[in-house]
A and B are shown apart, each in its own frame.
Chain A
Amino acid sequence: MKKITIIFSVLIILTMVLTACGKTAGEKTVLNVWSFTNEIQTMAIAFEKTHPDVDVVYTMIPMTNGEYQTKLMATLGTDQVPDVIALEAAFVKQYVESDFLADLKSLNADVKKADVYPFVTEVGTFDGVLKGLSYQATPGALFYRRSLAKAYFGTDDPVEMQKILGDMDKYLAAAAVVKEKSAGDTFMVASNGDFMNLFYANRANPWIVDGTLTVDPMVNKLIETAKAFRDNGYEAKATQWQEGWFAGMNDSLVGADGKPKQIFSYFLPTWGLPYVLAPHAASADGTKTTAGDWAMITGPLPYQWGGTWLGVMKDSKNLKLAKEFIRFCTLDETNLTNWATGVYTNAYLKAIDPNTPEGQAQAAGDFVGSKVVVNKITAGFDNSELSKFLGGQNSYGAFALAAPSVNARLMQGSDDAIQRAFNDPLASYLDGNITLDVMWQTWKDAVHNEFPELKIP
């Protein structure tokens, strides 16, 4: 009797233990990844290859009207909260500064090993705690027209041009040259929005110091420069992302009076080249193209624009797995190399997951955040399509030159809102509708509206 009881008990305990820690062959751990683009899905699929016991459930919610952020907020505190979330540059700092993201210090060693560009981790760090990492780095650059450079400055060589346009004062001086030599038919830049980023990115003080709004001298310089550009006709008064801005990229910009105009330079970051400049280099009717007539330099000031970061929600039930996912996406040398060199074709992804959508793939050329990988693969882009677009210049290498000097140490979550509050008053001021003082006051009122607790001098 006793023997049977013992055997019975052992069997029961054994069964309990086995079922408790057992994942049967068909049961995978689920990792919930939320994003607002389809980009990361590629890495999610690649992750499943190296981690076959994980099922990554990828949810995409657009952020155009704030659906993504609203839904994220709504799930806090419920069991719907995702494990990994993607964060766009416009709101990444907000979340990094909040208490919702988990500490990623377990990845610090890998960060060092991958030699991540400082500004990438700076964005993802708050109060010394690392909470967000990115697979890409998005330093900005200046793109100029080779033919126009030769005509106005006698050279189109990037090294020479960097000397000529090495800081904002030189840039302003060059604008005068461009206008004079083209009899006003060529604008230095299409929109003043192009260079606003540069000033903001190179302040010496953050916007909020001890709960008080601080206006850095660079901001004053921005206003002066914008006014100079407008008054002297150095910019085409276009708005970024609107027709005029795009038209200038393929020489189909026509003034309201019917005269054709040209644009000398554009400020764009890494993704700007393949996604904005290259597609729009050909005119809409296909008759002309400016491809091959462009070159790039770091420009007057280093800056960064855009980018997607990844973070782990503190309430996630799969912290360890989530952090491993982030490590894979942002710090794993193999993954980053594959990502940047176009190994992740649709066929490759389909081999891992047959349900991969037709258009899902990652073309080569995305500038990754790891210096180790960048140095390794730069030479491979010497003859890429984009290099041909730049008249033979290796864009990857050029961005690699710009990346180290970008700094995001002063970035704060409120930056985007404070800076965007300038757009309208500044535009009215440049149009001559309001005075400078009224402009500052309008801006301060707008900031006060958004940040009622902020002390505004």
Chain B
Amino acid sequence: MIKSRLNKNNYGYIFIAPFIIGFMIFGLYPVLNTLWLSFTNTTLMTSHAKFIWFDNFKALFADEMFIKAMKNTWLLWLLNFIPQLGMAMLVSVWFTSTRLRIKGVGIWRVIFYLPNLMMAAVVAALFFSLFSYYGPVNQLLVRAGIIPEAIDYIRDRTVMRALVVFIQWWLWFGQTIIILMAAMTSISVSVYEAALVDGANGWQMFRFITLPLIKPVMIYVLVTSLVGGMQMFDIPYLLTDGRGSPANAILTNNILMYMKFRSNQGHIGAASSVGMMVFVMTSFVALLIFYLLRDKDAAKASKKVNGGKDNA
């Protein structure tokens, strides 16, 4: 009995082998490369490089721009993510609710996902055009008498931040809906039926059935959004002159990294250290998320319902 269980478990190795091999060949090098670079002062335009230990990192912490970039990145991510998750959850629940029976779910979902197919560059260019000094937004607002004279939006920190947050939201909420729905539709209807019989209402069903059962996927959404948010680059970069203006209001970590990378000398060493810091920070917060949302309840519940994995 025990021997056969062990044997079965060893199959795990076979299943993950391709990943390990693939990673060894294609993934290991870039990771080590970035790590190594962060400890050197390599530049692209000259051919010599020195190992400088933690100098890059020391310089980072003394750099006000780095602190600002960190703060901005957090702000922009939270402002974008919380409404996005909230709304995606709401819409997903509506779409999967058998009680509401919304028609045309497939079509709604396609439309909401379309923004994700757009290239960031195009979207940024369009919005930049819309909000330029002589652009349509100003023309509309002034003629309608809402504002006395045209505003230079590009120079306004709040407007630019709001734009970045809005565009990020616009780009990604459709994808979040798809992911959440994929998880929600995997919950067997019988569980809901049983709850109905027990007299549960919509909110209770959501809170005690849906949420816990999609927790693994929720964690995924949280963590990947965090990673994406910490590395937010395209939109803030393209919406400004590449420096996160105005006054660095939308300077994010990755813009800083890119600036160092594409600077005159191509400070790829310094840039990599920014990347490493982003990584450290992201892992720390991700660990927090994992810890706070760990599976202790679900494990207990699944043992009860499904008899647990240990009964082979």
Residues of A within 8 A of B (CB): 64-66, 69, 73, 94-95, 97-100, 237-239, 242-244, 247, 253-258, 413-414, 416-417, 420-421, 423-425, 427-428, 431, 433-434, 442, 445-446, 449-452
Q: Which of A237, A425, A434, A449 contacts B65 (CB 8 A)?
A: A449
Query: Are B264 and A244 in contact, CB atoms less than 8 angstroms apart?
Result: no
Known: A420-B241, A449-B65. A237 touches B152 (CB 8 A): yes
Interface size on B, residues (CB 8 A): 40
Which of B25-33, B128-136, B294-302 forms contacts with chain A? B128-136
Tell me the minimal C-beta distance from A237 to chain B in angstroms.
6
Which of B108-116, B137-145, B163-171, B280-288 forms contacts with chain A? B137-145
Q: Which of B132, B155, B263, B266 contacts A242 (CB 8 A)?
A: B132
Q: Tally of A-B residue pairs with Cβ under 8 A?
A: 102
B133 partner residues in chain A, CB cutoff 8 A: 237-239, 242, 244
Complex Cα–Cα for A242 and B133 (A): 9
Known: A417-B264, A431-B152. A73 touches B44 (CB 8 A): yes
Tell me the minimal C-beta distance from B156 to chain A in angstroms.
9
Query: Are B134 and A253 in contact, CB atoms less than 8 angstroms apart?
Result: yes
Complex Cα–Cα for A147 and B154 (A): 34
Q: Which of B142, B155, B243 contacts A256 (CB 8 A)?
A: B142
| Of listed B150, B246, B264, B267, residue having the most chain A CB within 10 A | B264
A65 partner residues in chain B, CB cutoff 8 A: 121
Query: Are B247 and A442 in contact, CB atoms less than 8 angstroms apart?
Result: yes
Known: A256-B149, A428-B246. A445 touches B65 (CB 8 A): yes
| Of listed B134, B241, B270, residue having the most chain A CB within 10 A | B134
**Which residue of chain B has its CB nearest to the CB of A245?**
B134
Residues of B within 8 A of A (CB): 44-47, 59, 63-65, 121, 128-129, 132-135, 138-139, 142-143, 149-150, 152, 154-155, 240-241, 243, 245-247, 256, 259-260, 262-267, 270
Query: Are A446 and B45 in contact, CB atoms less than 8 angstroms apart?
Result: no
Q: Which of A238, A414, A434 contacts B134 (CB 8 A)?
A: A238
Query: Are B264 and A451 in contact, CB atoms less than 8 angstroms apart?
Result: yes
Known: A243-B135, A417-B264, A449-B63. A424 touches B45 (CB 8 A): no
Query: Are B264 and A94 in contact, CB atoms less than 8 angstroms apart?
Result: yes
Tell me the minimal C-beta distance from B130 to chain A in angstroms.
10
List 18 additional A-B contacts (Cβ < 8 Å) besides A239-B132, A445-B64.
Answer: A69-B262, A238-B133, A242-B132, A242-B134, A243-B129, A243-B135, A244-B133, A247-B134, A257-B149, A258-B142, A413-B264, A423-B245, A424-B246, A427-B246, A428-B155, A433-B247, A434-B247, A449-B63
Q: Is the interface of B mostly helix, strand, loop or mixed?
A: loop
Name 16 interchain pairs, CB-CB below 8 A, sorted by A: A239-B132, A242-B128, A242-B129, A242-B132, A243-B129, A244-B133, A247-B134, A256-B134, A416-B264, A420-B243, A427-B155, A431-B155, A434-B247, A446-B65, A446-B243, A449-B65
Known: A431-B152, A451-B263. A243 touches B46 (CB 8 A): no
A95 partner residues in chain B, CB cutoff 8 A: 45
Query: Are A424 and B241 in contact, CB atoms less than 8 angstroms apart?
Result: yes
B65 partner residues in chain A, CB cutoff 8 A: 445-446, 449
B128 partner residues in chain A, CB cutoff 8 A: 242
Complex Cα–Cα for A247 and B245 (A): 25
B63 partner residues in chain A, CB cutoff 8 A: 449
A445 partner residues in chain B, CB cutoff 8 A: 64-65
Query: Are A424 and B243 in contact, CB atoms less than 8 angstroms apart?
Result: yes
A416 partner residues in chain B, CB cutoff 8 A: 264
Q: Which of A66, A423, A424 contacts B262 (CB 8 A)?
A: A66
Tell me the minimal C-beta distance from A74 to chain B in angstroms.
10
Tell me the minimal C-beta distance from A344 to chain B in angstroms.
32
Query: Are A421 and B243 in contact, CB atoms less than 8 angstroms apart?
Result: yes
| Of listed B64, B128, B262, residue having the most chain A CB within 10 A | B262
B263 partner residues in chain A, CB cutoff 8 A: 417, 450-451
A98 partner residues in chain B, CB cutoff 8 A: 45-46
Complex Cα–Cα for A237 and B150 (A): 10
**Which residue of chain B has its CB nearest to the CB of A73?**
B44
Tell me the minimal C-beta distance from B75 to chain A in angstroms.
19
